[in-house]
């Protein structure tokens, strides 16, 4: 066993002072979101009902580096810098010459990367005099993160949790309440949207978004907060990749491939964008691999079109890979990856060939997660399990090629609240649902009118 260093700790002073905005470095300017009625580009005014000015400025910023407010940086110190370690035990188990580095975001209070944006959003809303944030949550990661962030900045937090998750994951609900949030089972009786959808008792992310947006829009002291997809959320997450660059420099290595899972895209963006900027500016030779679930293969099977960000059609039209805004992904345990679309920025990078995408079956992802847990100790969340599977494939390809390739794996969170899925996997009872091309085709046929792209 090697006695060489396996972790590369940073100090608090190494927490980034700026977020990386990739927009000004892109080969082509990103397509604008469109107002669904006029099909004209949607501007800052279209967002002002639910977002504070500073967040809107971040959403549309053209600056390459966006300064991190000092109080956000102070809050980041509660868990950042996060660890980067070399997974030598996994390397040995795979008998690979590859060097596998893991950037681990599961040390945050909520257990994933989500607080990086939740803290930034809660801070800017508190600065703007907002008193309450509303949001939706599926599996509970985003709701937990926003509850935690609101507790730091003295904001009320009201979360609509998808009914089936509310029933199945009581401990994520307890965690939100521990941080002081109110949690409602969606559909609720508190909103028009909820009352109208009462028949859909198990709820959906789309209904929960509608409820949270409705409450934020009608209460002048309340705003809405979104946990992925949008530019400002991707921006906030770039502390991950910037720290990883510094830590890999301590290790004396540069990645041949950067691997992360993609649901709405903010985790992948946070890890990859700082590295992609180096590729675009300096011509560094790095591959970027986005891992998604075969049950919801947005980037590998979706259409590159303008579509709504939410299921019921409240948002501007976004240019992105989509399975259709009312496509309902089969129930897999990676709640964080069950999204019909993808971040417009990540979508554009896939379209441009800068980011590769690959889809993985749920059982294959859990097999890799189990191997990771038994070698490296950490029990991964089901979402990053897909990235672990991709990493294993890359490490085995390096063995085939006989090359000591450097792989950087983004491990976005732990699986402490997902052990029922491990239970099912260990019992051989984990479903491995198929993606339905017919359902996607039907959903794509219901896409809104909008200009063709790409």
Among residues 32, 36, 180, 433, the one that binds a second copy under rule CB under 8 A: 180
Counting contacts by CB under 8 A, is residue 221 touching a second copy?
A: no
How many residues line the site for a second copy (CB under 8 A)? 48
> Least distance in Å: CB of 157 to a second copy?
11
DSSP H stretches of helix in 86-156: 88-94, 115-127, 141-153
Structure tokens at 114: 């989500």
Considering only residues 267-326, where is the footprint of a second copy by CB under 8 A?
none
Chain mean position to CA 279: 22
Of 111, 151, 123, the C-alpha closest to 55 is: 123
Counting contacts by CB under 8 A, is residue 131 touching a second copy?
A: no
Window of 11-19, 52-60, 235-243, 436-444 that interacts with a second copy by CB under 8 A: 11-19
Contacts of 211 (CB under 8 A, 6+ apart): 136, 160, 184, 186, 187, 188, 190, 191, 193, 194
Q: Report the 10 Å Cβ neighbour count for 190.
A: 15
Among residues 353, 377, 402, 428, the one that binds a second copy under rule CB under 8 A: 377
> Least distance in Å: CB of 223 to a second copy?
21
Among residues 23, 47, 175, 226, the one that binds a second copy under rule CB under 8 A: 175
- The whole-angstrom separation of Cα 344 and Cα 213 is 21
Of 233, 227, 220, 226, the C-alpha closest to 129 is: 220
Counting contacts by CB under 8 A, is residue 220 touching a second copy?
A: no
Window of 54-62, 217-225, 369-377, 442-450 that interacts with a second copy by CB under 8 A: 369-377
Contacts of 114 (CB under 8 A, 6+ apart): 108, 141, 142, 144, 145, 146, 227, 413
> Least distance in Å: CB of 261 to a second copy?
19
> Least distance in Å: CB of 118 to a second copy?
11
- The whole-angstrom separation of Cα 410 and Cα 425 is 23
Counting contacts by CB under 8 A, is residue 17 touching a second copy?
A: no
> Least distance in Å: CB of 208 to a second copy?
21
Of 206, 210, 158, 214, the C-alpha closest to 184 is: 158
Determine what percent of the chain falls in helix, strand and coil, rounding each to the nearest 5: 45, 15, 40
Window of 67-75, 184-192, 241-249, 267-275 that interacts with a second copy by CB under 8 A: 67-75
Chain positions contacting a second copy, by CB under 8 A = 1, 3, 5-7, 9-13, 70-71, 74, 77-79, 85, 89, 107-109, 111, 148, 151-152, 170-171, 174-175, 177-180, 370, 373-379, 416-417, 419-420, 422-423, 426
């Amino acid at each position: 066993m090697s006695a060489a260093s396996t972790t590369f700790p940073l100090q608090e002073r190494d927490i980034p002072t700026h977020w990386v905005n990739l927009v000004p470095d892109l080969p082509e300017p990103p397509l604008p979101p469109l107002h669904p009625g006029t099909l004209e580009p949607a501007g800052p005014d279209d967002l002002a009902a639910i977002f504070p000015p500073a967040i809107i400025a971040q959403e549309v910023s053209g600056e390459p580096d966006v300064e991190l407010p000092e109080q956000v940086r102070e809050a980041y110190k509660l868990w950042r810098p996060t660890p980067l370690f070399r997974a030598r035990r996994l390397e040995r188990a795979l008998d690979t010459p590859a060097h596998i580095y893991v950037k681990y975001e599961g040390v945050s209070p909520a257990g994933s990367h989500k607080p990086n944006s939740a803290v930034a959003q809660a801070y800017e809303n508190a600065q703007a005099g907002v008193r309450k944030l509303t949001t939706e949550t599926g599996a509970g990661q985003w709701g937990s993160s926003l509850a935690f962030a609101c507790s730091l900045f003295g904001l009320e937090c009201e979360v609509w949790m998808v009914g089936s998750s509310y029933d199945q994951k009581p401990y994520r609900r307890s965690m939100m309440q521990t941080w002081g949030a109110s949690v409602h089972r969606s559909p609720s009786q508190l909103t028009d949207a909820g009352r109208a959808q009462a028949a859909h008792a198990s709820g959906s992310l789309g209904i929960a978004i509608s409820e949270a947006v409705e409450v934020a829009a009608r209460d002048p002291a309340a705003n809405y907060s979104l946990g992925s997809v949008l530019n400002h959320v991707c921006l906030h997450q770039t502390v991950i990749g910037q720290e990883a660059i510094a830590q890999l420099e301590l290790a004396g290595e540069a990645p041949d491939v950067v691997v992360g899972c993609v649901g709405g895209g903010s985790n992948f963006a946070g890890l990859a964008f700082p590295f992609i900027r180096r590729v675009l500016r300096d011509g560094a030779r790095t591959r970027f691999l986005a891992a998604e679930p075969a049950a919801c293969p947005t980037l590998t099977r979706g259409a590159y079109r303008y579509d709504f960000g939410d299921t019921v059609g409240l948002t501007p039209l976004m240019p992105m890979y989509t399975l259709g805004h009312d496509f309902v992904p089969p129930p897999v345990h990676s709640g964080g990856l069950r999204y019909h679309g993808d971040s417009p920025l990540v979508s554009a990078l896939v379209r441009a060939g800068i980011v590769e995408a690959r889809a993985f079956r749920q059982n294959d992802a859990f097999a890799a997660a189990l191997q990771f847990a038994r070698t490296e100790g950490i029990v991964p969340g089901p979402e990053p399990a897909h990235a672990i599977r991709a990493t294993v494939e890359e490490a085995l390809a390096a063995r085939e090629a006989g090359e000591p390739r450097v792989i950087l794996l983004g491990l976005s969170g732990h699986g402490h609240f997902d052990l029922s899925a491990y239970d099912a996997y260990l019992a051989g009872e984990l479903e491995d649902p198929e993606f339905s091309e017919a359902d996607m085709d039907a959903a794509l046929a219901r896409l809104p009118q909008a200009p063709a792209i790409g």
